[in-house]
Structure 1
Amino acid sequence: MVTLAAKDDLGKRGEQMAVDFLRARGWEVLDRNWRCREGELDIVARDGQALVVVEVKTRSGRTHGTALEAVNPLKLARLRFLVGRWLAGQAVRFDTVRVDVIALERFGAAYSLHHERGVC
C-alpha cells in the first residue's frame, strides 16, 4: 500500500525533475505551486515570449493508466480557468499562452519523462 507521504514525495520529486528539465532548456520558471481557491498550477514558466503553464504528473506504475492519461478534459478546462486567474494578477502580458504536460513514470530507480507541448 502506498502511503500519502510516499505519494507526496513522488510528486515533489517529479515536479523538481520537471523544473530542472525546463531550466536546462533555457526556460524561466516564474511560479511554482501557485494556488487559489479553485486549484493549483504546478509550474508557470516563460518559453521565449510564451507563457507556459506546465501540469506535472508523476506515476510509479500504470495500474491507474499512464501519467499523461491522468490529464483529462476536465483537468484541462480547470487549467485554462486557472491560467486566467494567474494572469489577472500579473502586470506583464505574453504573446502566447499555452498549457503543456510533463509526464514522468518511475520504473525502479529510473524515470522516463515525456513533454507534451500545447495540449490546450
Structure 2
Amino acid sequence: MRQDNKKVGAIGEDAAAQLLRKKGYQILERNFRTRWGEIDIIARGKWKGRTLPLTLFVEVKTKTGDQYGEPWEMINMRKWQQVKNMAQVYLTKNGLGEVPCRIDVIGVWLDLDHEVEKIKHWENVTGLDLIGR
C-alpha cells in the first residue's frame, strides 16, 4: 500500500473513532488482525435501550474524491464474509460467544488537504444483529 493511502486511511479511522466516541461508544480495539484480514474498529455501547451492551465491528472507508460511489459500495461480498469471520474470532478470543453485535460502515470524505469534509455512519449494513448466536 502506498504511503499516501496509509495516511488517508489513518485519518479516516481517527475521524471514525472520534465519531463513535461522540455517539457514546467505547473503542475496544483498532486494527484487530486475524488470518482473514483486519477490522478497523471494534467498539461497545448501548443497543436500542436494551441492558446488554452492543459490540460493533466497523469497517472504515476513506475517500479523497466522489468517484466510485458511496464508501460502503467499495466493499464486496467477500469482504463482508471476512469481517464476519474476524468478528467471530474476536468474540471467541474474548469469551463473548453470544452477545448482540452489528457490522457498520463509516465513510469519511477528505478534501484535497486531507481534512475531513464529510463523515457518514451506516449501521447494521449486513442485517446481522446477532453475529455471536
Q: Same fold (TM over 0.5)?
A: yes
Q: Which moved more, 1:105-114 or 1:50-59?
A: 105-114
Residue 59 of structure 1 contacts residue 66 of structure 1 at CA under 8 Å; is this kept in 2? no
Q: Give me the whole-angstrom Cα distance separating, in 1, the residues matched to 2:105 and 2:72.
A: 7
The partner residue of 2:37 within 36, 39, 46 is 39
Q: Give me the whole-angstrom Cα distance separating, in 2, the residues matched to 1:89 and 1:43.
A: 16
Residues 1-120 of structure 1: pairs in structure 2 closer than 5 A: 4-48=2-46, 49-92=53-96, 95-108=99-112, 109-120=115-126
Q: Give me the whole-angstrom Cα distance separating, in 1, the residues matched to 2:104 and 2:29.
A: 15
Residue 18 of structure 1 contacts residue 56 of structure 1 at CA under 8 Å; is this kept in 2? yes
3-state SS in 1 of match to 2:125: coil
3-state SS in 2 of match to 1:85: helix
CA positional deviation for 1:36 = 1.3
Corresponding residue pairs, total = 118
Residue 104 of structure 2 contacts residue 121 of structure 2 at CA under 8 Å; is this kept in 1? yes
AA of the residue aligned to 1:5 = Q
> What TM-score comes out, normalization by structure 1 length?
0.89
CA positional deviation for 1:34 = 0.5
Percent of aligned pairs with the same amino acid: 30
Unpaired runs of 5+ in structure 2?
47-52, 127-133
